[in-house]
């Protein structure tokens, strides 16, 4: 093509005015898919939430001391926007279960969790809140708060250091970054069901398992099949010593042979 002449666009043949209008819109208007809009909203929304997670101020045992140390100036949780420890569950976003969870305390913990507004998260801090810790075999200790509450992040240790707690909070931020308004539970239709408070009687049980407990109590054979005895080291050692003290079985005396018949 000679220089100085502009390129002429080819003639476009359309069948109707609506088709011509659609082609003009495609060439002149930038159309963004709805999914990209939602992705952009998620990034902005999650950026604001991840940097303003307010913990609830309560502690159960020695892990709470490490939580207090993390709030001090040496570690500076305000870098993450988490320095506002709220005394009311209505204003808190994060429940840090720091310490031993006893059966007497579980109903109060579940009640506080139900009073927190969505979105809310739970962080199990330390071996006791995670799985019972050194008191797991105690008659009054719950083997992990996740038996009653949905836990988002586990921080191991006895007790965990402030650095470990900070790492757990960063893992929580990563989880928040991966959430979307499409599938989070607090934007779903219908009323959100709270977690029923455990019933504290001769022992503690979850009301959600009431039907299962009733079926097992009426069927002793099924209950016996599900029973699991947890033996301690002392019980295993005692059984081993009892086996060693048992007298060795004596060989049976040979039977006298009958004389052959004539």
Query: Tens-digit pLDDT profile for the chain (262 aa)?
Result: 555 555 555 666 667 777 777 777 766 666 667 777 888 888 998 899 899 899 998 888 888 999 989 888 888 888 888 888 888 999 999 999 998 998 888 989 999 999 998 899 999 999 999 988 888 878 888 888 988 899 999 999 988 999 999 999 999 999 999 988 888 888 877 777 778 788 776 677 777 777 777 777 777 777 666 665 545 566 777 778 888 877 777 776 676 677 666 6
With tokens 């604001």, the residue in question is 48
State the DSSP H helix or E strand holding residue 43, giving kind and residue range, or none if neither: helix 34-50
3-state helix, strand, coil in the chain (%, to 5): 45, 10, 45
The token duo for 239 is 């059984």
State the DSSP H helix or E strand holding residue 204, giving kind and residue range, or none if neither: strand 204-205
The token duo for 179 is 């959430």
Please give the Cα distance from 98 to 83 (Å, whole number).
17
Q: Closest by alpha carbon to 156, among 120, 121, 132?
A: 132
Q: Pairing between strand 199-200 and 204-205?
A: antiparallel
With tokens 């240790």, the residue in question is 157
Measured CA angle at 152 (ends 147, 153), to 5 deg:
105
Q: Which residues are bridge partners to 94 per DSSP?
A: 55, 121
pTM (2 d.p.): 0.68
């Amino acid at each position: 093509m000679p220089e100085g002449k502009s390129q002429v666009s080819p003639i476009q043949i359309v069948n109707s005015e609506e088709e011509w209008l659609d082609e003009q819109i495609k060439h002149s208007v930038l159309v963004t898919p709805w999914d990209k809009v939602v992705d952009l909203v998620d990034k902005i929304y999650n950026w604001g939430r991840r940097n303003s997670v307010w913990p609830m101020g309560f502690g159960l045992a020695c892990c709470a001391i490490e939580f207090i140390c993390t709030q001090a100036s040496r570690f500076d949780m305000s870098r993450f926007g988490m320095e506002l420890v709220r005394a009311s569950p209505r204003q808190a976003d994060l429940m840090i279960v720091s310490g031993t969870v006893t059966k007497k305390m579980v109903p109060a913990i579940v009640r506080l969790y139900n009073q927190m507004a969505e979105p809310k998260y739970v962080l199990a801090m330390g071996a006791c809140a995670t799985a019972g810790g050194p008191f797991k075999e105690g008659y009054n200790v719950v083997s992990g708060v996740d038996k009653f509450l949905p836990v988002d992040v586990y921080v191991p240790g006895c007790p965990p250091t402030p650095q470990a707690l900070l790492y757990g909070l960063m893992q929580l931020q990563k989880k928040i970054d991966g959430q979307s308004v499409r599938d989070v539970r607090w934007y779903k239709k219908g009323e959100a069901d709270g977690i029923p408070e455990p019933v504290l009687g001769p022992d503690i049980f979850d009301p959600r398992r009431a039907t299962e407990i009733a079926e097992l109590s009426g069927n002793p054979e099924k209950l016996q099949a599900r029973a699991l005895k947890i033996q301690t080291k002392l019980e295993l050692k005692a059984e081993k010593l009892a086996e060693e003290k048992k007298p060795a079985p004596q060989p049976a005396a040979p039977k006298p042979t009958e004389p052959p018949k004539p």
